[in-house]
Amino acid sequence: MTVATLVACHECDRLHKILRVPHGGAARCTRCGAVLYKDIPDSIGRTLMLTITGVILFVIANVYPIMTFKLSGREQSNTLFAGSRELYDTGFWELAALVFMCSILLPALRLGGMLYVLIPLKFGMRPWKVEVVFRWLETLIPWAMMEVYMLGILVAIVKLSDIATIVLGTALYAFAALILMTAWSGATLDPRAVWNQVGIGARGHSR
């Protein structure tokens, strides 16, 4: 028995021997019942498809206006980047940097990193430094807080709708779809499949 054949429960740390599970099934901890790992059919292929869809939605969300503000005959359209720029121009550069990182930079890095890892693996190749990149992607997940930014947008829309006419833009719908697509891709990705594909073996990595 080697380290590559063992998995630790992420809830109670009990070690289990990795066994084959039924198609679409899951292995659970014998002590606490937590899910140890799942058998996700074509995990890499499905996650790659969802990631490519996410890239398309990300481009749309950053190119088109997220909303149009109409007041007294004047109209002003805003994009995701425009929000960060407005904060910077008004002197809130720290908040501007945080908004830019969480809504644009980190999601872009995550999508790009997933493509870097998954495309070569899908075609049977091993990306350069894939171990470092994939572990780095795992650490990005808590920081790419698109949901928090989306909540802020919705709160602003509700408050501004009392004093002006707000027209929701294409980017807002694309951004909402991107959040769902990111969550879906995270659910379809089996880290064990990635580690096995690169020849490292499963090491109990969890998202």
Q: What is the pLDDT of residue 206?
A: 38
DSSP assignments along 78-132, one per residue: E-HHHHHHHHHHTT-HHHHHHHHIIIIIHHHHHHHHHHHHHHHHHTT---TTHHH
pLDDT in tens, the chain (207 residues): 555 677 888 889 888 888 888 777 788 888 898 888 888 888 899 999 999 999 999 999 999 988 887 777 777 777 888 878 887 888 888 888 888 888 889 899 999 999 999 999 998 888 888 889 998 888 887 666 777 777 777 777 777 777 777 888 899 899 999 999 998 998 898 888 888 787 754 444 433
Half-sphere CA count of 54, side-chain side, radius 13 A: 26
- Asked whether the beta carbons of 160 and 69 are under 8 A apart, the reply is yes
- Asked whether the beta carbons of 48 and 123 are under 8 A apart, the reply is no
Mark residue 189 as left, alpha or beta (left: phi above 0; alpha: psi -120 to 50; beta: remaining). Answer: beta
- Asked whether the beta carbons of 102 and 175 are under 8 A apart, the reply is no
Q: What is the pLDDT of residue 2?
A: 55
Please give the class, per CATH, of domain 42-197: mainly alpha
Domain chopping of the chain, boundaries:
1-39, 42-197
Amino acid at 195: W
Q: What is the pLDDT of residue 51?
A: 95
DSSP assignments along 162-192, one per residue: TTSEEEE-HHHHHHHHHHHHHHHHHHH--HH
Choose among 194, 198, 206, 195: nearest CA to 36: 206
- Asked whether the beta carbons of 88 and 98 are under 8 A apart, the reply is no
Q: What is the pTM of this model?
A: 0.78
- The C-alpha atoms of residue 158 and residue 42 are separated, in whole angstroms, by 42
Q: What is the pLDDT of residue 178?
A: 93
Amino acid at 133: V
